[in-house]
Structure 1
């Protein structure tokens, strides 16, 4: 049993769909820039509001001190002695300073109200951008579904029919510092059965094979060969790696299983769905070729795994 992993890409371009994909990506990038700009404005406005509130608290504290001082001066003025003119002058100075501070406090309140209004408008703009981004993503998903539906129809017309089942990738991946790996039970079972999470214990060989596929095959572009006796986890590890790649942006993957009796199973993961088709030994060469011809997006990276009796 020799699992082999090969990497490739290309195919016949579908110009209109590719152009729409590019336009959607550009629009999404523009929205990200606008969102970042609004976030920076919100941070600046929030900082200004905090500064204004801090200054207002300082003025309120100073006014309280002046009130206490005025009360003391009025007590002095009740004593109509020789120093009355002196205390009247001091009271006048204190009242002028109080008037100045109250005007400044009023200006600060108005400025703070304007800043809060600006903050509210920015939050509204942020919500609008988030809504626009959600609409754009839905439009992008619809476009991808349309493209996938068209490719599926092309595959059916060529005699390839896919069976789809839901696949939960929400908890996929390493846990406990690469000691455990979670995966959907359905992709581990060649005969579709009960769905659910399976937690695998990661032996050293598991992590070494995952690292090999990531570094040598995906990053450096080598064709990888994985050899070993039955029951050492070659197939399971490769499935886990293929599945983890399927949820990464820009990757398109397929697992090809060669059975001893001659049937070949092709398994893909597309938009949360596991797609499977079974080909006879007579159909496999032309069938796999037709499937790969449907991989048309030159911006994506492609990964195919061959596993079984060859």
Structure 2
């Protein structure tokens, strides 16, 4: 708890500059007795005299007063900066914390870090991978400043900026009838046993895609990682379905696997950069840099992806 007020510190500084109580009182537009009482209250609190007062001689600072004065001026200057409208929002933030959905991280984390470190060498950039559910909580609690995710599970309180688009893929072994196709439709896999991610929002989203075409799929496995999903599909456990599309046609257990893009337009999902509040520099510029990176990658994520089969 502060026992010396900013107003009292202003009085001390004014007297030191004016050289007399009467002159300082005129500048401050207060009575001389009120000013004298305030100075006395500060001296009583700090336990030292700040001024030497001798009749007919200008008020001068004591040795302790000469130590006290610059500290008071610094505190008043800091308070003035805090009181200025928009001051903190204009001050550059030295440490920026990014959160990236763990499903997106393999394709996005390293390119984003490289680009931001080149564009903002004076800013410390840290990044963590998070789940759908955790990302929103960490944004709201201030544990991360920006979150790269699919536009799922975010309410209207979040700011969103489109970064790219992503289409889902199916994962099938080479002898599957769909393996040689350049594109497949959700209706063609609606009756197959499906392998999906085990994240709740991801599962609900996939079910919504099928509901839009009037179908209810059967989920046979919920995989904790994309590599487990691909392995299960390659071993004939079902048809994998995911938005993540790692390169390579061999699973971790050494089996060939093919990917085929889903062609339903309603299945294309925005990748967004989410934030929870108005942010100081350099966060607006960082958001723009990530969006520029996303625009450059967008063709490969969606349009170019329609010609890939794995």
With the length of structure 1 as denominator, give the TM-score of the two structures.
0.26
Select the structure that is richer in strand.
2
Select the structure that is richer in helix.
1
The structure with higher relative contact order (CA 8 Å, sep 6+) is 1
With the length of structure 2 as denominator, give the TM-score of the two structures.
0.26
